[in-house]
Structure 1
Amino acid sequence: MSSNFKIQISNPCHEKWGEMIDNNTGKFCNSCQKSVVDFTDFSDRDLHSWFTENQGKSCGRFKPEQLDRLIHVKSSFAISRFKPCLIAASLFAFLSFPKLGKGEVIKPSTVQTAKTITNFDKKNQDEALSDSLRFIKGKVTDKDKSALPGVTIRILGEKYGYSTDANGEFSLTYIIQKENDFKELDIRYIGFENKNVKFKSTEVYLNIILNEDTTAFMGDVVIVRTPFWKRIYSKMRNQLRDINPFYKK
């Protein structure tokens, strides 16, 4: 496959993403009996790799900005990057580098000092920690009150994440700095809009409803490749433009 191509949706699908059955690559649509791959989180490199390995017909779900534009992935290694003058200068510098002579290895002297033991009042620390710990439980559903399993939940400012169980429920602990402190949950689920929910440290249960992401497009995927002659023409035009002293960027 050409390194340059465009992705288009030939036959848009209007089925509801949230009502499809989960599978390894995304969802399975009972209406058209096809597996729908979720490409919304794919980078250009991921898209290029996928469609290079899977050149047959497929059905996918994309963000609008992924469609009808050039998907181009530059190679991580290009011999043209290495200019002849740079190679010659590097070789000359290597040959002119002085040789290392034998040197005597001097071991650093070590000085042993007496260990100092710091005593902490562990009881006071445990009490302070227990006073700052809080628990929050909740349930995540869609607008039809159906439970959403596997939803990723994270408290903003913390690096650890949690997931809802098969019933869409979650339970997590967190630390507060002061009473009536506010925290914020970052909630993400494929096929639904991301949502942030603020709550007080005095709250113990949250009912969260996610809305389906309607900005994504689904349907049969068509790969539009750039013809070879057009790629050659574009490269020659760009090279001539670069050496043109009258060209203004």
Structure 2
Amino acid sequence: MKQFNLTIGKPCSEKFNQFTQTNSGGFCNSCQKEVMDFRNMSDEKLVEYFKNNQANTCGYFKTNQLKEYSNLNDNRNEAKFKYLRIIGFALFSALSLHNIQAQEKQPATEIIEQTKEAKSNQVKNNDKQKGLLAGVVSDETGPLPGANIILKGTTIGTSTNFDGEFVFPKKLEKGDILIFSFLGYETQTIEIKENQNILNVNMGGDDSFVLMGEVEVNEVYKSKRTLWQKIKDIF
């Protein structure tokens, strides 16, 4: 099984927190079977589990876990290929740079570029001087890009960048309330303290975005890429 989709065709209406706890989840008295708790499993663990257990599995999932998965071996092969592609590109760049330097007689101009971290720190320092609130929104796995932050009672707000960072566009006062939201997570409201200009938020899970029921494992068939297509990807 190369790729497969995990879905729940008929979600169960039973309450998982009322089940008798087991080592792997809970026992449902209604259907007389164990319900596996997959909510804290990584993608790798889920793939490994459903490679060997495809039939009659009843599970408790976060909705973002019900998606298409790739086989671990395919991921490793893809990683190796990407590594070879990077090496090939690096060699190509090195040869090109050598040829340019050999032809170029004028002294090279040194270009100093700020690192991403230095740029980020500079932006934060500028925002701090302006009195704007800045911070990072994350969950247990890392930063959350695209999280929404709204000043309660207004339409003023912003969203986090790719690194989960945000700068609120309006200077806030003590007692103002910010609303943090992200699909699949519990909305949080946080009151601003006096002279506060840094706020880091960790979003918690929302049980309303959890599904339970018998798992359907459907294989996904895709045509294999030819050797020529893989070679073209290197360049």
TM-score by length of 2: 0.42
TM-score by length of 1: 0.39
In terms of fraction of residues, the more helix-rich structure is 2
